[in-house]
Structures are given as structure tokens and as C-alpha cells.
Amino acid sequence: MSMDGTPMVGIVGSGVMGVGTAQSLVQSGHDVVMVDLNQEILDRAAAELARNMRLSRLLAKPGQEQAVPTAGKVSYAVEYDALAPVDFVIENITEKWELKKDLYPVLDEVCRAEVCFAANTSCTSITRLGSLTARPAQVIGMHFMNPVPLKPAVEVIMGHHTSADTLDTAKDLLASMGKEAIVVNDSPGFVSNRVLMPTINEAIYLVQEQVASPAEIDRLFERCFGHAMGPLQTADLIGVDTILHSLEVLYEDFNDSKYRPCPLLRRMVDAGLHGRKTGQGFFTYQT
């Protein structure tokens, strides 16, 4: 905890979501400890964070630009022991059960007993993650959306054992970041992915069947429904590979063919067309 009582937050996993969450925390005055597998990954995350902080000036209100980069600080570590002083942990590692399974018992060991763990996940069962620790009441889901600093709300997921106190702690942290918690119960894909993933999948079928081009499909959603971004630009932003993975998880969890991934989606992933992060998905990007 910092001098003024602002919780210090541990971020495990420094990919796009980890960096975005760290940026949001730093910009709201929190100290952050970021942990990942090796120094190279952390260096890349630090560079990305610096770049995004700089670019965030674009969207800052006039007069507030200077306050941003100095408001908090981030330390980087490859050892989980570095999480010993943190007051809250947000886990952002790859959405693979084998990796999460090994991580949570380690977090349980290095973090103080009162620390809560939030899984920044769009599909992993919070109840199941809680079962990996001796503190299931203190495990909660925080499904941040990309880009984290620009999103005003977070899908917060209650696991079977998650306590009201943990929810309050999570809500307080999010409020300090200027974000609203929208609380839902644990279920595969929660609410957002359960609706969004089949929507994107269906849009990809439309491209595959040449009913419309990606630009036309997205324009319908943007111009007619008033969405900020159509389903295919959204897929590119989330990561085409992540979309496939999320659909596979839904398919497996529900055993329902309505989540069957479109063959074009699979081909794009195999071809390395992963969206914004690789410069090419349904659209082309500057990387």
C-alpha cells in the first residue's frame, strides 16, 4: 500500500491486456508490480507502456496531459516473490488452463492472506480458478476490454465462492480507476463473450459466403446500430486467434454446435492474420 492508501497492484502477464491494465492503474495513481516470464517480454511491455502513455496524450483533456506519465510507477520482475508487497493481483496470462493451473497455487503462496486475485479473463471459469487456491472466496473475475484505458466499465464475475467483501474490494479498485463494475455470475463466456463471439463468428461466415465484404458488414453495425466499431474490426482488435480460442472454449463447455468456429476464422489464424497485433486481419493496420 502506498503512503496515501492507494492499493499497490500486481499484474501477472504483460501482454496487450496486462499493459493496458497497468496503464490504467498508473494513470489513476497506483503503484504496479508487473511480472512475466523473462526480461525480454518485460522490456517489450515497458516500451509498449511508455508508447501508449505518450499516445494517451492525444485523448487527454487540455491541461491534463502532464499529469499522466508521472502519476504512478511500475516495477518489473521475473520472480513471483516480487508480488509479496502488493494489495491486489490482476492476472492476465494467456487463456490456457494448463498455465493458469500452475500459476494460482504460486500466487497463493507468495501473496499475503488478505490479498484478492482477479482473473482478467473472457472465458475461464472463476469458480474453477478459485479451486486452485486456499482462498476461493477472494478470487473474482475482471473482464477488462481492450483498450483498457478507454473503457468506462468492466465485466466483473462472481465465482461460486466469491465473497461480498471481495466484490467490494474489486469495485473499490475499479472505481479508483474510474471504471464501473457490471457484475455477473460465473458461466462459460460470461455475458459479453457469450453474445459477442457467436456474433463475430456469424459475421465471418458472411464474409466466407461472400454475402458482404468486411467493410460493408462493419458499416452496417456502425451506421445503423450506432456501434463504435463493427464485429470484424472488433475481431481484429481482440485478436483473430483469441476469437477462435474463445469460440473453442464455448463449444467445448456447452457442447453446442452454435459455437462451431467458421472455417475461414481457422484459416486466418493458421495464416497468421491475427488482426491489429500482426498488422493484418479482416483489415490492414499500421503496426
**Site of interaction with other proteins (CB under 8 A):** 54-55, 57-59, 62, 65, 147, 150, 215, 219, 222, 228-229, 237, 283-287
**DSSP 3-state helix, strand, coil percentages of the chain (rounded to 5)?**
50, 15, 35
Cβ distance to other proteins smaller for residue 170 or 232? 232
Q: 146 a known binding residue? A: yes
- Closest separation between CB of residue 197 and other proteins, Å? 21
36 known ligand binder? yes
Catalytic residue among 143, 161, 227, 274: 143
CB 220, min distance to other proteins, A: 13
Strand 153-158 and strand 139-143: the pairing is antiparallel
Burial 92-109 (b: 16+ CB within 10 A, else e): bbebeeeebeebbeebbe
73 marked among binding-site residues: no
Of 160 and 227, the one with the shorter C-beta distance to other proteins is: 227
> What sections of the chain are H helices per DSSP?
16-27, 39-55, 67-70, 97-110, 126-130, 164-176, 192-208, 214-219, 231-238, 240-254, 263-270
Cα–Cα dist 46/52, whole Å:
10
143 is annotated as an active-site residue? yes
Nearer to other proteins, 22 or 86 (CB): 22
CB of 155 to other proteins, least distance (A): 20
Active-site residue set:
143
Binding-site members for NAD(+) are 13-18, 36, 95, 100, 122, 146, 277
